[in-house]
Amino acid sequence: MNLFVLLKTVPDTVEELTVAADNKSLDAEWLRFKLSDADEHAVEQALLLKERAGGKLTVVALDAPELDDSLFTVLAKGADRVVKLAGDLGNLQSFSAAALFAAFLKGEADPPPADTLILLRSQAMDDLEGEIGPVLADCLGLPYVGVVTGVQPDGGTVTVTKEFAGGLRGEFALPTPAVLGIQSAEKPPRYVPIAKVRAAMKSAALETVDVTPPEAGARFPIEKMYKPEAAGRAEMLEGSPEEVADRLVELLAQQSLI
């Protein structure tokens, strides 16, 4: 198969996120980036597909600080080729990201070979203006399914499992080439020992392709960014068990939990 995985880092929430002085963006000084869980799952799903069906796995990533370690890890796990799209990417939003990925993919082969599957995260916590996958698929004129938890290619078509809610899933069939938004891989992402990552650093190289992000940039300005009010202690409910239970039922109903 002709497999692609597209990666875009997210801010690491282990670090304290602070809002910059303009009150409209995150303070870059403290920001650190990492691949999101869903990115890791997209890589894992692609590796599983490669192991099952053979083929070539190309990983394309939008450049970010400290990204290289993650990319060498991907190489150590079994990717055949890693391409970094570099340039003045700054605070790149989803539509610009989709445009950059689409341009790269079109440059590879237009139209893509019939056995092409393009995998990327289904969603991420910084997708404020939309998910990348469906927009990218629309640019490329390819079918797209998101929230995918299982992928079964079968010559010219691929059957995917999409998650709905509460454990219910659905199976869909779509023709390849296709774009799939991965929620979770069929197996948890594999561990690759540091020794292999270091070996990859010595033996393999990352390709870098210079890109210029589209002029348009973000699709809307953020008016204000702020931290939610301090989480602090719980709001305590007082009273007899009866009263407390009534109040709880009311709260659960408000949250449409019952």
Partner 1 sequence: MSNDPVAIRLLGVPGVAVLWILTLLAFGVFGRRAWQLVSLLRRARPENRFDHLGQRLGRVLRHVLLQPRLFNERSIGLPHLLIFWGFLVYVGSFLWALGRGLFPFVPVPYPDEVGLVGFLLEIFGVVVLAALAVAVVRRAFFPPRYLHLSWDANLIISLIGLLMLSSLFGSAFRAAAAGVGPSLASPIGGALAGLFRGLPQARALDGARALWWLHVVIVLGFMVYLPYSKHLHLLASPFNVFFGNLRPAGDLTLAGAAEESAAGAAAWNEFTWKQLLSGFSCAECGRCDRACPAANSGFPLEPQQIVQKLKKHAIATGLKPPKKGEEAVALIGGVISEAELWACTSCMSCMERCAVLNEQLPIVVQLRRHQVAEGAVEKNLQDMLANLTRYGNSFGKSDRMRAKWTQALGSKIKDARKEPVEVLWYVGDYASYDPRLEEITRKTAQLFQLAGLDFGILYEGERNAGNDVRRVGEEGLFEMLREKNQQVLGKAQFKTIVSTDPHTYNTLKNEYGFGGNGVAVLHSSELLDRLVQEGKLPLKRKLGGRVTYHDPCYLGRYNEVYEPARRLLRGLGVDLVEMPRNRNRSYCCGAGGGRIWMEDVPGIKERPSESRVREAAALPDVSTLVVGCPKDIAMFRDAVKTTGTESTLAVRDLAELVWDAVQG
Partner 2 sequence: MSKGILILAEHLKGELSDITFEMLGAGRTLADALGAPLHVALVGRGSAGLASRLGAADKVFVVDKPELELPPAATMAAVLGSLIEKQQESLVLVGWTNLAMGVGSVLSARSGLPLVNFARALRVEDGAVVVTSQLFGGKIFSDVRLADGRGIVSVSSGAFPADAGRSEKAPAVEAVDVAVEAPKITFKKYVEPAAGDVDITKQTTLVAVGRGIQTQDNISMAEELAEALGGAVCGSRPVIDQGWLPLTRQVGKSGMSVKPRLYLALGISGAPEHVEGMQGSQMIVAVNTDAKAPIFDVAQYGVCADALEILPVLTEKIKARHG
> Using CB under 8 A as the criterion, which residues of the chain lie in contact with partner 1 when the complex forms?
14-16, 34, 188, 190-198
Whether 4 contacts 117, CB under 8 Å: yes
96 touches partner 2 by CB under 8 A: no
Give the dihedral sign, CA 134/137/143/148.
negative
Q: Closest approach of Cβ 20 to partner 1, in Å? A: 18
Q: Given candidates 55, 78, 143, 214, which one binds partner 2 under the rule CB under 8 A?
A: 143
Size of the site for partner 2 (CB under 8 A): 79
- Applying CB under 8 A, the span of 80-88, 113-121, 199-207, 224-232 interacting with partner 2 comes to 224-232
Residue 246, both tokens: 């009534």
Query: Which residue bears the tokens 């999409």?
Result: 162
d(CA 17, CA 105): 33
Give the dihedral sign, CA 64/66/70/72.
positive
Residue 226 site contact among partner 2, partner 1, none (CB < 5 to 8 Å, cut-off depends on kind) = partner 2
Q: Closest approach of Cβ 61 to partner 1, in Å? A: 17
d(CA 28, CA 17): 9
Residue 194 site contact among partner 1, partner 2, none (CB < 5 to 8 Å, cut-off depends on kind) = partner 1
Residue 86 site contact among partner 1, partner 2, none (CB < 5 to 8 Å, cut-off depends on kind) = none
Residue 147 site contact among partner 2, partner 1, none (CB < 5 to 8 Å, cut-off depends on kind) = partner 2
108 touches partner 2 by CB under 8 A: no
191 touches partner 2 by CB under 8 A: no
Q: Closest approach of Cβ 193 to partner 1, in Å? A: 5
d(CA 23, CA 21): 5
CA distances from residue 138 to 45, 82, 132, 141, 179 in whole angstroms, order as listed: 22, 24, 10, 5, 10
Q: Name the amino acid, one letter, at 3.
A: L
